[in-house]
Structure 1
Amino acid sequence: MRYADDWCLMVKGTRADAEDLREEIAQVLAPMGLRLSMEKTVITHIEEGLDFLGWRIQRHRKRGSDQHYVYTYPSKKAVLAVKRKIKAVCRQVEVNQPLDDLLRRLNVMLRGWCDYFRTGVSSAVFAYLNSYLWESAWRRLRRKHRKSTWKEIRLRCCGGGWWPASERRELINLEKVGTTRYRYRGSVIPSPWPAADNEEHTVPTGLVESPVH
């Protein structure tokens, strides 16, 4: 039997506290035949941030204020991965195939990606990807209609506008995808752990673990 599981433990304490918990966790897993992957296990300060399941989790100063908050948003690795997928789809759908085939494949792939990342601070990333998506789609349209003018392509493939659309569907507009934030529940969630005795000297530390076989 094999196990695959990723999890993140947030520690209010020192690095030494996180290291002690790592050893305790290893001892709990050992009787079950599990062990921690030392290559994938990271202890980091929340100010430095960490990547977890495609998300970037890091504390930043809120723009226009002196307050600092923990933000979750798509990691650079996740953004690069979806850009590669957009590029691959635009290449895989041959120029002799209908525009609707390209739009359908891009929309299905991007809706799933956005559904996963819409629960974070993702608006800026969605806007950035929207620009990349438009440019990628237009490069493909130019390859398909090499002898046509911009106006002719817009009339044929965009209904006279600038956003690619077929008779059946329109290319997804990522800037129109709404984002939501998890509601902060704070002390509403009971904690079984006593408060730190020396809070003025504690720092938040993240322990990211990935147990394998």
Structure 2
Amino acid sequence: MRFADDWCLMVTGTKADAEALREQITGVLSTMGLRLSQEKTLITHIDEGLDFLGWRIQRHRKRGTDQHYVYTYPAHKSVKAVTGKVKTLCRQNRNLTLEVLLHRLNPLLRGWTTYFQSGVSSAAFGYLRAYTWRQVFRWLRRKHPHSTWKNIRRRFCNGGWWPAEGEVTLFNPGAVKTIRYRYRGTRLSALT
């Protein structure tokens, strides 16, 4: 048996319409032996927004116009989670080489940005880029407390300000381009 663990239902109508649909859905799910969690079930207006699977879904006015659009972008909780992981990795062990630290950080950053690449995520990617750079440089300063900024930059940045050692360079989340969703409904039968 297959069923969805998380799902979102969007309704054009009033809050009363949404509550009536919730009652109907509860009846359908009970015949399958499933139930809606009262703690997780949320009825909200799209202007207030909701967090769903790490995304924030909310309608905003498009800058410079009077038109409103629904935007999906990384939820604050998701950004806090990835920055917490970056901070933890950068504080675990100063005895590692920079290359090992970068090998641990790069898959985390690449995976997170790939998941959120299809939304309005450029601002979050830029923030993650600055946060990660700051954490790596703090790690370098703790590892080499008597070195100057100039020496650390010369030794660990390959001529610029971006951390690298050997062939390994820190993944840059700010360089990831977002990809807007493209409708592919006509091709779905060919893909399955």
| Distance in 2 separating the partners of 1:142 and 1:160 | 18
What aligned pairs does 1:123-202 form with structure 2 within 5 A after superposition?
A: 123-183=122-182
| Distance in 2 separating the partners of 1:18 and 1:52 | 17
Q: Tell me how many residue pairs correspond in the alignment.
A: 186
Give 1:50's aligned residue. 50
Q: Which runs of 4+ in 1 moved over 2 A?
A: 1-4, 183-186
Q: Is the 8 A contact 1:151 1:160 kept in 2?
A: no
* Aligned residue type for 1:128: Y
Greater fraction of residues in strand: 1
* Aligned residue type for 1:179: T
Name the SS for the 1:43 alignment partner.
Answer: coil
Give 2:70's aligned residue. 70
Give 1:208's aligned residue. none
Q: Is the 8 A contact 1:47 1:59 kept in 2?
A: yes
| Distance in 2 separating the partners of 1:104 and 1:177 | 18
* Aligned residue type for 2:160: G
* Aligned residue type for 2:32: M
Higher relative contact order (CA 8 A, sep 6+): 1
Greater fraction of residues in helix: 2
Give the root-mean-square deviation of aligned CA atoms: 1.9
Q: Normalization by structure 1: what TM-score?
A: 0.83
Give 1:100's aligned residue. 99
Residue identity (%): 66
**Unaligned segments of structure 2, at least 5 residues:** 187-192
* Aligned residue type for 1:52: F
Q: Normalization by structure 2: what TM-score?
A: 0.92
